[in-house]
Amino acid sequence: MVRIKHRYLLINILYPDPKSTSGRPATKPGDEVPYTVQFRRPSPDRMDGGVLTRLIRDGVAELYGDYGSGKVAGSLQVKYFSQATSTAIVRVSRDYYRLVWAALTFATRLPNPVGQSCVIQVVRVSGTIRKSEEEAIRRARLSIRRAEAAAKSSNAATAGLAAATPQLLSTEDDDADMINGIEDPDDPRDIEEDLDDDEG
Amino acid sequence: MTPQPSAPGPPRPLKRKDAPSSSNTAGSTNHNKRRKTQVALDASGPSKRKDAQSFSATTKNARHDKRRQTTKDARAISSQASSKAFKNGELDVDKFVKAREYEIKALEQGMARAKKALAERAFQQVPKELRRRTASHNVKRVPKRLQRRAAREMVEDKTKSDRRKPSRHMRLRIETAKRLRALSAKQRARKDAVVKDQGTTNVQSDQRPVSVKSRKPRVKKNALKDPPPAPAKFRKRQIGKSWLPTHLYHAKRAHMTSPKEPLWRYAVPLTPTMKSYRPTHRASGDRGAVAWDMSYMATVSLAGTEQSLQGLLRALGIGVSPETKQLWETRGQRWSLGTRVWEGWLYCRDSFPLQAIAPATVIWCAENEPTSVLGAVAEEKANVQRKTVRKLLIRVHPSAFHQLWDEVLRLAKVQKPQVMVEDLRFEIGSIEITGPASTEALLGALWPNTSTSCRDWPQGSVEATWSSLAEITNPATLPENVLFGFDIVDPRLHHPPRTIAIPQSTRESALLSTLSKWPCDQTQTSPKLFDRNARLKAARALPSQKAINRRKSFAVPGTYPEPKPSDAQIPILLYATRNLQSRNGGQSRAQGTWNFLLPWKAVLPVWYSIMYYPLSTGGQPRFGGLREKRQIVFEAGVPWFPGDFPGTAAGYAWEVREREKRKEDWAKRPRGKRTEWSSVDLGNGKKGEIGDGWACDWERLLTGMAPPTTGKSAEAAGDPSSKSDSVSPPPKLCHITSAAASSLLSGSSPLHNIDLSTALATVTLDLLVRGVPQTCARIYRLPSSSAIDPTAISLRNSWLALVPTPESRRRGREQKQPFPSRLRRDAPPHVVHRQLAQSLLKPPQAGEDEYPVCPGEEDLIGFVTTGNFNLGEGRGTGIGCILLGRVLDRVREGRDEGMKGRLCVVRNAGQSVGRLARWDIAG
């Protein structure tokens, strides 16, 4: 018997429009929310796995027509969606995951009950759900560290203790760099190697 | 919907809106309802189709659905809603971090739960070594705790069970068993009736003897011993062989020698039925202990005056060579006083460097008045010593026993006064145990006997010293070859054993001082094991298991029964040995070994006590078979007798036996699937394996190239000792021990009477490149550098080019992969060029055209007798034998070139690829 093979796409949803999102910076004076926290906002309450599925299906149908939606429909499934962190894991058959990826990349707006502009990043493609979960954990850890570091530095700046913090920061996370406004850019080789692991 | 964001409780499937408890409908409809809510979310085709099916709900489907649902639940990952995580939708660092933490926890839990809920059948949970192929069809094959679950699973997924109609043979056996049961029941009833009659009438009581006093059997001196009569029940199964004392234990747990082909006239355990060797490897070196029942080792006892015993041992080649001469002087004093053992080779009478018989252990019996000062040799004592009878034991492998026995018997009669020789084969058994926990296990099993009620032995006594060794994790840390002789109590009285208290390191200094002073040298008294009466007494005093059980039941719960003065005192001799040489001189990992001798009858209780000892590091000691023994020794780089010594009679017999077995295995295979020896490509247009492919073909090695015309070999053929061997006359091979061989190669000793054309030395082989040598692999030397033939010179040079330089070795270590990964299609040109350059510089790999061919048959020097993957080294290694005469000139001419003289090429039988290796004298 031949195993049915899937791909698992780890997705981050970003909400670039600051006005319409649910997560607004706290209004308390003097309490500035760091940029890293603002960058990754929670999803609105009405957004869920179903909406994401619909978005993908519509997107695939729009880009690839009946052929694409037929190929994708059988295996498409949202395995995990977290509103608070705007992270999702989408499963799709191995042969057609590129269609889904394209649909996600071209999506600019969440469908109707939510109706909000968005950017979707596919941050990891893996052959097993386990690996994508591990990656999600790694990224969550990373963003925790970044947020804490940013909060600390802003606090330190207000308290006038700026001298001590750079050392702390440099030891803690060297990888918390931002390149072109995107955190943790992926090495394209990572994804390909990951695929190679699984195809054997 | 979800609990506190910081601590996800039992995670629930994604966005389920109805709580399962809210609907009180029947189970199946409940699921459908749940499913429906999920359909909107999943929106995947298959789940809809399943829904339609489950509406026609039979009970089977319901069960199926339930299982699906549970797996689905297990795989779902809980998630957090934004409104929960962020109050009023306000962004906040603290909340942001909490939301991430929740996600991490949820994902980790999800992974753990999904793994647990994998469709893992019960038999898949069993550790690898306990897995049975039949376990998926037969519930009885899994451990008891899993049997119920396995049975349920079998019903659930409709596995066909193994319950078949018993076969004809099986039915016959069942019938016989039934009839036997009926018969024994009838007999028991009759016996009971007789007893009742006696109880009532007391008529026949005076006719029955009260107790029969058994006469002591006369000691058969200078005669071979018969195996002890087996119990009637097992007699038929021991015709032509005898069982070890632990046979029943092993027969249940190990593959034994087949009934028709015993090894050395014993039924020997070959390998445990537990699969995989790796746990044994770990137990022998890293954690745990491995034990063997070595009762098949033969023991010969000699008794006579010290002078005649010395004469006998000298004639056997002990302490004859200039290096070992000191054995009879100050250096061997501890040995001859009976506090150390000696291990080494024995030879035929007065033929020291030639005609080796076997490696043996020689143990002197200590005398009862302990000598206070070692060095003091009192003149007046000498006279007494000349008269007193001393004893010693020689322990030798059973394959060489008869040869040694004949030799010893002949020598004993020549001595003046004569030496009495006694065969103790079925009277003394032995156990061997190795591994870091071996000392601990032995301390738990061997309790020194207490003659008085108190358990305190005088400071420095043998028993006290033995009991203070609990911290030792390697017997090799003890003084070399130390010997303990003391009595132990019946281990069944303290069975099941308990983990001993291991003292903490505060007492380390005490242990160190013990090890350095070694008080046993002064306090060792004459071990009772040498005394025949003590041995017999111990064997007779062993109570029945029934009696032991009764005593245990009278004991206070949780305590062992009180010792009684009438308890059996089992005499033992315990000694620690270390592997003389281990691979690469790495002494750190080399584990020593505990050996102990004890009366044959006492082996079984002690064995059980060791096997069930709960180690402080967890688990119990493992047992090994012959294969484990060989492999552990092999991994230490030490040759194994007899297999690795084809130059001895016993070793040659082993080789012949193995050869036949391999030939049979080969012949069994269909023609298309076995190696066709005649078409093996040897390079340079030569075809066909050298000699028999299934053999280490020593005959071909000796006669194949050079016709036997020398007078010396004819002389060796007419040697009387080679005739005594019953198998087939060995081809005039002569084993040269390691010391003699290395001195020969270094040129320090003259070539006196050694015939170089037949002198064999055992060597270890380290492969310098890849590859795993197998048994029977052919060993070639490199063509001579002074050869006239230019092709030979170029062949030599191309082999020498393969020798890894330190630089390339370092580079290989730095690179993670030994081979460059395949280039990507769009690789930039400079990467392609680099790779091309690297591939040009690299030495040729096997299979490429430039890879050198094997040297010709004229350069064949020997065969690999044991070759395998070496778990200790992490690569293949080998132990083989080579003809010294063929390598002597290479070693001498290569002496100033470092290791070049000892390079060789190893080619597995039936293959054409040779591998570059380096040989070294073993042992």
B77, B82, B98, best to mutate vs chain A, most A CBs in 10 Å: B82
Average pLDDT over residues B809-827: 59
Average pLDDT over residues B188-192: 93
Q: What is the pLDDT of residue B58?
A: 58
- The answer to whether the beta carbons of residues B313 and B307 sit under 8 Å apart is no
Q: What is the pLDDT of residue A175?
A: 44
The pLDDT confidence band at residue B384, using thresholds 50, 70 and 90, is low
Q: What is the pLDDT of residue B705?
A: 52
In three-state secondary structure terms, B247 is helix
The pLDDT confidence band at residue B587, using thresholds 50, 70 and 90, is very low
Closest partner residue to A73 among B45, B91, B101, by Cβ?
Answer: B45
**Residue B224 in contact with partner chain A when CB distance is under 8 A:** no
- The answer to whether the beta carbons of residues B611 and B291 sit under 8 Å apart is yes
Is the pLDDT reported for residue B785 higher than 80? no
Q: What is the pLDDT of residue B369?
A: 66
Residues of B within 8 A of A116 (CB-CB) are none
Residues of B within 8 A of A72 (CB-CB) are none
Chain B nearest-CA distance from A147, in A, is 6
Which H or E run includes B420?
strand B420-423
- Encoded tokens for B497: 């054993």
Q: What is the pLDDT of residue B613?
A: 94
Average pLDDT over residues B166-184: 88
User: What is the C-alpha separation between A152 and A154, in angstroms, rounded?
Assistant: 5
Average pLDDT over residues B783-787: 79
Q: What is the pLDDT of residue B549?
A: 93
- The answer to whether the beta carbons of residues B301 and B409 sit under 8 Å apart is no
**Residue A84 in contact with partner chain B when CB distance is under 8 A:** yes
Average pLDDT over residues B493-520: 83
Is the pLDDT reported for residue B851 higher than 60? yes
Which H or E run includes B434?
strand B428-434
User: What is the C-alpha separation between B322 and B344, in angstroms, rounded?
Assistant: 15
- Encoded tokens for B849: 């055209």
Mean confidence (pLDDT) of chain B: 80
The pLDDT confidence band at residue A186, using thresholds 50, 70 and 90, is very low
Distances (CA, A) of B590 to B434, B586, B634: 10, 7, 12
Bridge partners of B255?
B271
A57, A79, A85, best to mutate vs chain B, most B CBs in 10 Å: A85
> Which has the higher per-residue pLDDT, A154 or B180?
B180
Residue corresponding to tokens 């001469």: B325
To the nearest whole percent, how much of chain B has pLDDT over 70?
80
Closest partner residue to B86 among A42, A75, A78, by Cβ?
Answer: A42
Strand ranges (DSSP E) for B790-913? Answer: 860-870, 875-883, 903-907
**Residue A140 in contact with partner chain B when CB distance is under 8 A:** yes
Which DSSP letter does residue B437 get?
A: T
User: What is the C-alpha separation between B677 and B684, in angstroms, rounded?
Assistant: 17
For residue range B471-504, list pLDDT tens digits in order.
Answer: 888 888 888 889 999 999 999 999 899 999 887 7
**Residue B365 in contact with partner chain A when CB distance is under 8 A:** no
User: Letter for the amino acid at B491?
Assistant: P
Is the pLDDT reported for residue B755 higher than 50? yes
Burial-class residue B188 by CB neighbours within 10 Å (0-12, 13-18, 19+).
Answer: exposed
Is the pLDDT reported for residue B344 higher than 50? yes
**For the ranges A69-78, B119-128, B222-231, the one whose mean pLDDT is highest:** A69-78
**Residue B43 in contact with partner chain A when CB distance is under 8 A:** yes
Q: Do A53 and B85 touch (CB under 8 A)?
A: no
User: What is the C-alpha separation between B198 and A96, in angstroms, rounded?
Assistant: 92
Q: Which residues contact B589 (CB under 8 A, 6 or more apart)?
A: B285, B582, B872
The pLDDT confidence band at residue A102, using thresholds 50, 70 and 90, is very high
User: What is the C-alpha separation between B272 and B277, in angstroms, rounded?
Assistant: 9
Rg, chain B, Cα only:
35
The pLDDT confidence band at residue B211, using thresholds 50, 70 and 90, is low
B100, B104, B111, B116, best to mutate vs chain A, most A CBs in 10 Å: B100
Which DSSP letter does residue B161 get?
A: P
Is the pLDDT reported for residue B40 higher than 70? no
Q: What is the pLDDT of residue A150?
A: 82
Q: Do A44 and B110 touch (CB under 8 A)?
A: no
CB environment B885-910: b (16+ within 10 A), e (fewer): bbbbebbeebeeeeebbbbbbbbbbb
**Residue A150 in contact with partner chain B when CB distance is under 8 A:** yes
In three-state secondary structure terms, B677 is helix
Closest partner residue to B82 among A43, A140, A148, by Cβ?
Answer: A43
Is the pLDDT reported for residue B312 higher than 60? yes
Is cis: bond before B642, omega within 30 of 0? yes
Residue corresponding to tokens 């010792």: B563
Q: Which of A121-130, B20-29, B93-102, B164-173 has the lowest mean pLDDT?
A: B20-29
Q: How would you classify the pairing of strands B914-921 and B569-577?
A: unpaired
B869: number of Cβ within 10 Å: 15
Is the pLDDT reported for residue B507 higher than 90? no
User: What is the C-alpha separation between B541 and B602, in angstroms, rounded?
Assistant: 10
Is the pLDDT reported for residue B721 higher than 80? no
Q: Which of A83-87, B13-17, B774-778, B815-819 has the lowest mean pLDDT?
A: B13-17
Is the pLDDT reported for residue A14 higher than 80? yes
User: What is the C-alpha separation between A53 and A61, in angstroms, rounded?
Assistant: 12
User: What is the C-alpha separation between B190 and A139, in angstroms, rounded?
Assistant: 82
For residue range B434-455, list pLDDT tens digits in order.
Answer: 999 999 999 999 999 876 545 6
CB environment A23-48: b (16+ within 10 A), e (fewer): bbbbeeeeebbbebbbbbbbbbeebb
Q: What is the pLDDT of residue B148?
A: 92
**Residue B82 in contact with partner chain A when CB distance is under 8 A:** yes
Rg, chain A, Cα only:
19
**Residue B85 in contact with partner chain A when CB distance is under 8 A:** yes
Q: What is the pLDDT of residue B822?
A: 67
Residue corresponding to tokens 């493992």: B622
Residue B213, φ and ψ in degrees, nearest 5 = -85, 120
**Residue B91 in contact with partner chain A when CB distance is under 8 A:** yes
Is the pLDDT reported for residue B229 higher than 70? yes
Residue of B nearest to A142 (CA): B100
- Encoded tokens for B346: 């024995």
Q: What is the pLDDT of residue B202?
A: 54
**For the ranges A94-108, B525-539, B811-825, the one whose mean pLDDT is highest:** A94-108
Which H or E run includes B254?
strand B254-256
Measured N-to-C along each axis, helices B738-746 and B884-893 cross at an angle, to the nearest 10 degrees, of: 40
User: What is the C-alpha separation between A122 and B230, in angstroms, rounded?
Assistant: 77
> Which has the higher per-residue pLDDT, B755 or B339?
B339
